[in-house]
């Protein structure tokens, strides 16, 4: 595969038709406090005119950055949950998955793939950050997550998650384009149709870089999208990025346009968040940006 950055147009993965409202299963956890997961996915996708069908993988009192949180694993209920969908004849246009509560839940997501073979598959492999797995994850869960790479239409790992999925060593956030290409090539070879690797930063630059690669675009050569790097970190920005990306895809934007939109959405929400009390722990304040998500339909 090529190691050059290309500016070739990225693929359009969903064609929005008329007034039709697409239905997307959002397979994520739900947090009572701390804005992330379904608490982000439902409003963001809804603002883009998407009928969001939640599949809760776990229930949390608060996100895992809080020193104390309660987690309830929903694995035992999920097959009956989906059985009821089947009996009702529910149809889906997409399956957007994120955090899982157990290794067994990968099979639940794969069941959705089998029952809705025409659905667009967006996989945000929420497993860790900054070189560390999240505290509720195990090695078995990470191994199971690798099974979702094969067949994903869009895979959106950060560098930690790309390392866990591929087995390629994590070398921090400041890596070369050539190293990003190694990760992208490996994920495409594992079966992903397209990959968006998030959050590359370079010392001394006030920019954050996201790279996308698709099998059918210049043999997987990288496309680079840059956004403003803000001098603080917030919980939930990965969920907001993936949700914004999914919203743009279902508005009919191509993959590059969707990555640009998602990066700008995260930046704008982070700038607003800084003015909130306890902002570094509370989670990303995306609510005032939902009007920009709704504007996707005006340009669809």
Q: What is the pLDDT of residue 28?
A: 97
pLDDT in tens, 167-197: 999 999 999 999 999 999 999 999 999 999 9
Kindly tell me if the per-residue pLDDT of 4 is higher than 50: no
pLDDT in tens, 80-123: 999 999 999 999 999 999 999 999 999 999 999 999 999 999 99
Kindly tell me if the per-residue pLDDT of 147 is higher than 90: yes
Q: What is the pLDDT of residue 252?
A: 96
Place of tokens 């509560």: 101
Average confidence score pLDDT of the chain: 93
CB 157 within 8 A of CB 122: no
Sign of CA dihedral 289, 62, 37, 225: positive
Read off the pLDDT of each residue in 248-269 and give the average, rounded to a whole number: 97
Q: Domains of the chain: which residue ranges?
A: 23-299
Read off the pLDDT of each residue in 248-276 and give the average, rounded to a whole number: 96
Q: What is the pLDDT of residue 64?
A: 83
The CATH number, out of the four listed (3.30.360.10, 3.40.1190.20, 2.40.30.10, 3.40.50.10860), of the domain defined by the range 23-299? 3.40.1190.20
């Amino acid at each position: 595969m090529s190691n050059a950055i290309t500016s070739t147009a990225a693929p359009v993965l969903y064609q929005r038709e008329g007034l039709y409202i697409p239905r997307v299963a959002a397979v994520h956890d739900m947090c009572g406090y701390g804005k992330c997961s379904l608490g982000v996915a439902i409003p963001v996708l809804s603002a883009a005119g998407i009928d969001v069908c939640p599949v809760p993988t776990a229930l949390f009192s608060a996100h895992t950055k809080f020193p104390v949180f309660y987690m309830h694993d929903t694995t035992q209920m999920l097959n009956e949950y989906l059985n009821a969908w089947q009996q009702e004849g529910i149809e889906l246009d997409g399956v957007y998955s994120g955090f899982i509560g157990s290794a067994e839940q990968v099979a639940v997501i794969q069941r959705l793939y089998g029952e809705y073979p025409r659905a667009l598959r967006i996989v945000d492999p929420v497993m860790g950050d900054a070189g560390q797995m999240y505290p509720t994850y195990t090695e078995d869960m990470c191994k199971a997550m690798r099974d979702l790479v094969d067949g994903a239409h869009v895979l959106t790992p950060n560098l930690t998650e790309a390392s866990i999925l591929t087995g390629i060593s994590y070398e921090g956030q400041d890596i070369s384009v050539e190293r990003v290409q190694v990760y992208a090539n490996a994920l495409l070879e594992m079966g992903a149709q397209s990959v968006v690797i998030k959050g590359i930063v370079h010392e001394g630059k006030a920019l954050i870089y996201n790279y996308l690669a698709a099998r059918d675009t210049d043999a997987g050569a990288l496309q680079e999208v840059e956004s403003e790097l803000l001098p603080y970190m917030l919980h939930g920005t990965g969920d907001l990025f993936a949700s914004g990306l999914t919203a743009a895809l279902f508005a009919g934007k191509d993959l590059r346009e969707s990555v640009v939109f998602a990066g700008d959405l995260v930046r704008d929400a982070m700038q607003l968040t800084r003015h909130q009390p306890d902002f570094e722990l509370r989670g990303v304040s995306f609510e005032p940006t939902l009007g920009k998500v709704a504007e996707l339909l005006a340009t669809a």
